[in-house]
């Protein structure tokens, strides 16, 4: 059970670090938890966040191509992608 919980969190984190740009990459937990309540994997492992992480779409590679175009090569959670897009427009 704990392994599945860990994988859920790592999937979300992988989505963030795969698509973030500039300042938003410095603290990926801030994109997942904009209220600032989580700043580490240890904090994210709280059972309080189980539903949030369990319901995120799992990160997956759609195909392996010679060129890297994330939108064509990967599948990511739409809600997390929206958070990244909004954050990439903001400079901390």
Instruction: Note down pLDDT in tens along the chain; length 92 residues.
Output: 799 999 999 999 988 887 777 777 888 898 899 899 999 999 999 999 999 999 998 887 766 766 666 666 566 677 777 777 776 544 33
For residue 90, what pLDDT is reported? 41
Q: How far is CA 85 from CA 15, 24, 82, in A?
A: 12, 10, 5
Question: Could you give the CA distance from residue 89 to residue 49 in angstroms, rounded to a whole number?
Answer: 26
For residue 39, what pLDDT is reported? 93
């Amino acid at each position: 059970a704990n392994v599945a919980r860990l994988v859920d969190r790592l999937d979300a984190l992988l989505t963030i670090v795969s698509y973030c740009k500039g300042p938003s990459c410095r603290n990926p937990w801030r994109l997942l938890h904009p209220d600032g309540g989580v700043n580490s994997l240890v904090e994210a492992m709280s059972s309080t966040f189980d539903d949030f992480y369990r319901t995120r779409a799992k990160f997956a590679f759609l195909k392996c191509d010679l060129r890297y175009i994330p939108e064509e090569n990967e599948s990511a959670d739409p809600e997390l992608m929206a958070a990244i897009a909004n954050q990439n427009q903001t400079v901390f």
